[in-house]
């Protein structure tokens, strides 16, 4: 276990009220272990026992993770997903099973009703398969209904998919999806911010949803009712500056009120994967050239692109540095960086940093 | 037969290429009979026989209309619908069966697939019944599928409905809808710009669609495929400055591509009649007060409304006069006039003219 993962469990164990402060400190470059020590002194100044207890729990969690083939990836790890690092409250640690390279490409979330109709499941499977066939990884929540249909669609198309859990990775919920989680870990990654052993309590799922959207460039909602958790994911996506799209459906069943409400609020209508690709600005002509659409625009922007001008060729910069230089909020900046990356104008390097790529036009 | 209807058939008999010129001349106040005489001299200067033949055909059509209980309403007739008078190419004559007062209130068109699914027919019936229950008349095209479901929905709710045909009124198409046409004429009006006896040729239907939208404040499209005639109605509505709304549906069947394309282009999503009422700006709270929503806004606008300022109390003005004074195009002006009318700030009087109503606030 390396130094980074060794500091994972303590930073996970701090009270949730500290999360924003914690994210800011991590973003500012403070090593997680130092940060934990500082927070511990502030929150439990006269309770060395409490600090020791947290450290013991953390060590137990790390040991349990190791025993269960779960790998923690901390904020400062180069493998930590850059898109998630850009949200206001990124998890300090991601507990993972599978290959974290799964989130290196373009990611699209597909979420929706647990009590999904056959129609919704069919749409989820079809969209996921079509996205996967074009090299886009599908993010979802491993839930019954739309989520699992989306994961299966991507897997059946030999694509990559990412499941974000609302429990520890060794406590798969719903239990009957354990084989699906195993399949996902073989071909993508299963991930949670919750330490191994954490049960799937209802309060974990709304916060889990911010990770689904935070990993993704866009969130597609299928068959969400009026109070669907998918609407939380959609709201998170909007707050994070990601695209929100929705699949229309029957207006008489009441099953689509949430999805239609999103459409009324300006979410893009999705009938097919092409609609999603169009919204992302990536090519829709064929699977051979994923970036045909954006390539042209980025190419024509050339060195006049204000974000490119903030990057020194060969010198990696992190999101905050680029944000400071460009004057753009990280949440607004990230979609542009992703476009530039897809266009080959910049490349992602370790620690969620970006480097400008100069090449002949 | 009055003087107005006596001039109906000749003006209907002129070549279709003259329609725009003809509308402009009628809008300028030229009596239809004078206009026909002038056009006849221009188009057939050396063929008095041709003119006589047209007059003879026209007289026969008027006679046939009278024999079939069909009433022609010419442009200059006070009963001519003001909304239709505002379009760029209004029919010089409307041949009608039923009570033309049917179009005096708020009109909404519901159009869609002829080969409609059970879902589309069910939505059409429900929306039409709900609109009719709130005092809104439903306009459609008497076609199989969505159109007839909408007419029936309005009738079953004891409401008013208007059918616009693509044939003469005595040649109902499809023939099995003759009883429906009879029911509509009893409770609303059946109307066509085509002289009695005209067969339902395919080329008549696209032009018929401009009348459906031209009569209406909004057009609701249900289950239109990619090449549906309903999309023509929607395009006419946009050109005429009317609202376009669409009902979402299944994305896998291919049946809703046209309706979803409208949504992608900004048409409002319709799940229920409330969505339509909201778009019209009329009250959605209950059926007792149709204008609750707009009443407030018009009341608060008071005499500061620039259109009201163009109207002299007690002195009727037609659309062109108001357009000239306000600098607004008639197509843009009409929805505002309708709002003011609903708010009770103006009233519609004979010949498609409007008069300002001054009353205590």
The residue among A110, A260, A267, A269 with the most chain B CBs within 10 A of its CB, best to mutate, is A269
Partner A contacted by B269 (CB < 8 A): yes
- Residue B272's closest chain A neighbor by CA? A251
Do B269 and A248 count as a contact with CB atoms less than 8 A apart?
yes
For residue A278, which residues of chain B lie inside 8 Å, CB to CB? none
Inter-chain touch A249–B252, beta carbons under 8 Å: no
Model confidence pLDDT, tens digit, residues A118-137? 999 999 999 999 999 999 99
Q: Which residues sit opposite B112 in a β-bridge?
A: B222
A268 lies within 8 A of chain B by CB: yes
Interface of A with B in 106-125 (CB under 8 A): 119, 122-123
- For residues A290 and A330, the answer to whether their CB atoms sit within 8 Å is no
Q: 3-state SS of chain A?
A: CCHHHHCHHHHHCCCHHHHHHHHHHHHCCCCHHHHHHHHHHHHCCCCHHHHHHHHHHHHHHHHHHHHCCCEEEECCCCCCCHHHHCCCCCCCEEEEEECHHHHHCCEEEEEECCCCCHHHHHHHHHHHHHHHHCCCEEEECCCCCHHHHHHHHHHHCCCCEEEECCCCCCCCCCHHHHHHHHHHHHHCEEEECCCCCCCCCCCHHHHHHHHHHHHCCEEEEECCCCCCHHHHHHHHHHHCCCEEEEECCCCCCCCCHHHHHHHHCCCEECCCHHHHHHHHCCCCCCCCCCCHHHHHHHHHHHHHCCCHHHCCECCCEEHHHHHHHHCCCHHHHHHHHHHHHHCCCEEEEHHHEEEECCCCC
Partners of A190 in beta bridges: A97, A163
Rounded to the nearest angstrom, the gap between the alpha carbon of residue B296 and the centroid of all alpha carbons in its chain is 27
Closest Cα of chain B to A251: distance in Å? 5
* Burial of B83: CB neighbours in 10 Å, binned 0-12, 13-18, 19+: buried
Bigger pLDDT: B131 vs B319: B131
Q: What's the CA gap between A102 and A98, in Å, rounded?
A: 8
Nearest to B250 among A119, A264, A272 (CB): A119
Distance from B265 to chain A by nearest Cα, in Å? 10
CB contact (8 A) between residue B269 and residue A264: yes
CA B361 to CA B359: how far, in whole Å? 6
Neighboring chain A residues of B250 at a CB cutoff of 8 Å: 119, 249-250
CB–CB contact B269 A256 (8 Å): no
pLDDT at A153: 98
Q: Is the pLDDT of residue B14 over 60?
A: no
Q: What is the DSSP string of B227-255?
A: T-HHHHHHHHHHHTT-EEEEE---SSSST
What is the complex's ipTM, to 2 decimals? 0.72
Do you know the residue count of chain A? 361
Mean pLDDT confidence for B28-55 = 81
The reply to whether A270 touches chain B by the CB within 8 Å rule is yes
Confidence (pLDDT) at B8: 46
- Judging contacts by C-beta atoms under 8 Å, the chain A residues touching residue B275 are 264
pLDDT tens sequence across B257-295: 999 999 999 999 999 999 999 999 875 443 332 222 222
- The answer to whether B264 faces chain A, any CB pair under 8 Å, is yes
* Best mutation target, B110, B226, B247, B248, to test chain A (most A CBs within 10 A): B248
How far is the C-alpha of B123 from the C-alpha of B71, rounded, in Å? 33
Q: What is the pLDDT of residue A17?
A: 52
Residue B323 vs residue B247, higher pLDDT:
B247
Q: List all residues 6 or more positions away from B310 whose beta carbon is below 8 Å from its beta carbon.
A: B317, B322, B325, B326
The answer to whether A270 contacts B264, with C-beta atoms less than 8 Å apart, is no
Assess contact for B210 and B231: CB atoms under 8 A: no
Average pLDDT over residues B90-107: 95
Q: Assess contact for B95 and B67: CB atoms under 8 A.
A: no
The pTM of this model reads: 0.74
Cβ within 8 Å, pair A248-B252: no
Phi/psi at B313 (5° precision): -55, 130
Q: In this complex, do A269 and B248 lie within 8 Å of one another by their Cβ atoms?
A: yes
Phi, psi of A276 (to 5 degrees): -70, -45
CA distance B199 to B111: 22
CA distance B101 to B348: 12
What residue ranges of chain A have pLDDT lower than 70?
Answer: 1-21, 283-304, 313-314, 331, 349-351, 358-361
pLDDT the model gives residue A314: 65
Q: For chain B, what percentages of helix, strand and coil (3-state, to nearest 5) are there?
A: 50, 15, 35
Cβ–Cβ gap A250/B119 under 8 Å: yes
pLDDT band at B11 (very low <50, low <70, confident <90, very high): very low
pLDDT (0 to 100) of residue A350: 63
Chain A residue closest in CA terms to B267:
A264
**Mind telling me how many Å the CA of A38 is from chain B's nearest CA?**
52
Q: By the 8 A CB rule, do B172 and B181 touch?
A: yes
pLDDT at residue B98, rounded to an integer? 97
What residues of chain B lie within 8 A of the CB of A257, using their CB?
271
Please give the span between the terminal C-alpha atoms of chain A, in angstroms, as a whole number: 44
Per-residue tokens: B115:
């080969």
Cβ neighbours of A117 in B, within 8 Å: none
Q: How many whole angstroms separate alpha carbon B293 and alpha carbon B342? A: 10
How far does the CA of residue A116 sit from the closest CA of chain B (Å)? 14
A residues 171-230 near B, CB within 8 Å? Answer: none
Whether residue B155 has pLDDT greater than 90: yes
pLDDT of residue B330: 73
CA distance, residue A127 to nearest chain B CA (Å): 11
Long-range contacts of A261-264 (CB under 8 A, 24+ apart): A261/A226, A261/A231, A262/A221, A262/A224, A262/A231, A262/A234, A263/B248, A263/B263, A263/B269, A264/B268, A264/B269, A264/B275
Confidence band of B10 (pLDDT split at 50, 70, 90): very low
Chain B residues close to A272, C-beta within 8 Å: 251
Place of tokens 């394309």: B261
Within a 10 A sphere around the Cβ of A320, how many other Cβ atoms?
17
Interface test with A, best of B271, B273, B275 (most A CBs within 10 A): B271
Name which of B104, B105, B87, B116 is nearest B236 in CA terms. B87
Interface check for A249 against chain B (CB to CB < 8 A): the answer is yes
Residue A69, phi-psi category: left (phi > 0), alpha (psi -120 to 50), beta (remainder): left
User: Which residues of chain B form beta strands (DSSP E)?
Assistant: 71-74, 93-98, 107-112, 137-140, 161-164, 189-192, 218-222, 243-247, 268-269, 317-318, 346-349, 353-356
The tens digit of pLDDT for each residue in B310-352 reads 787 667 788 878 887 777 777 677 777 877 877 778 877 666 7
């Amino acid at each position: 276990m390396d130094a980074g993962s060794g500091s994972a469990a303590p930073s996970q164990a701090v009270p949730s009220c500290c999360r924003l402060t914690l994210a800011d400190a991590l973003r500012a470059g403070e090593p997680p272990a130092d940060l934990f020590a500082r927070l511990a002194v502030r929150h439990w100044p006269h309770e060395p026992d409490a600090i020791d207890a947290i450290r013991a729990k953390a060590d137990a969690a790390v040991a349990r993770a190791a025993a269960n083939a779960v790998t923690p990836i901390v904020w400062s790890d180069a493998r930590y997903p850059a898109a998630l690092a850009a949200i206001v409250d990124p998890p300090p640690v991601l507990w993972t099973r599978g290959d974290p390279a799964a989130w290196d490409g373009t990611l699209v979330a597909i979420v929706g009703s647990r009590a999904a109709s056959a129609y919704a499941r069919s749409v989820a499977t079809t969209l996921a398969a079509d996205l996967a066939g074009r090299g886009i990884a599908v993010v979802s929540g491993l839930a019954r209904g739309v989520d699992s249909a989306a994961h299966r669609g991507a897997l059946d198309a030999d694509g990559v998919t990412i499941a974000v859990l609302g429990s520890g990775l060794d406590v798969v919920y719903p239990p009957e999806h354990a084989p699906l989680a195993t399949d996902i870990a073989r071909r993508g990654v299963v991930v949670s911010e919750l330490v191994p052993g954490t049960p799937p309590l209802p309060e974990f799922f709304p916060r889990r949803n911010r990770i689904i959207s935070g990993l993704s460039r866009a969130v597609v909602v299928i068959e969400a009712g009026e109070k669907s958790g998918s609407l939380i994911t959609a709201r998170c996506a909007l707050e994070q500056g990601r695209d929100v799209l929705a699949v229309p459906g029957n207006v008489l069943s009441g099953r689509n009120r949430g999805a239609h409400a999103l459409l009324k609020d300006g979410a893009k209508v999705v009938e097919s994967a092409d609609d999603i690709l169009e919204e992302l600005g990536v090519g829709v002509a064929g699977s051979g050239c994923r970036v045909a659409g954006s390539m042209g625009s980025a190419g024509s922007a050339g060195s006049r692109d204000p974000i490119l001008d903030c990057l020194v060729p060969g010198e990696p910069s992190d999101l905050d540095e680029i944000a400071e230089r460009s004057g753009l909020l990280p949440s607004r900046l990230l979609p542009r960086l992703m476009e530039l990356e897809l266009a080959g104008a910049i490349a992602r390097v370790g620690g969620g940093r970006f480097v400008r790529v100069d090449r002949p036009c």
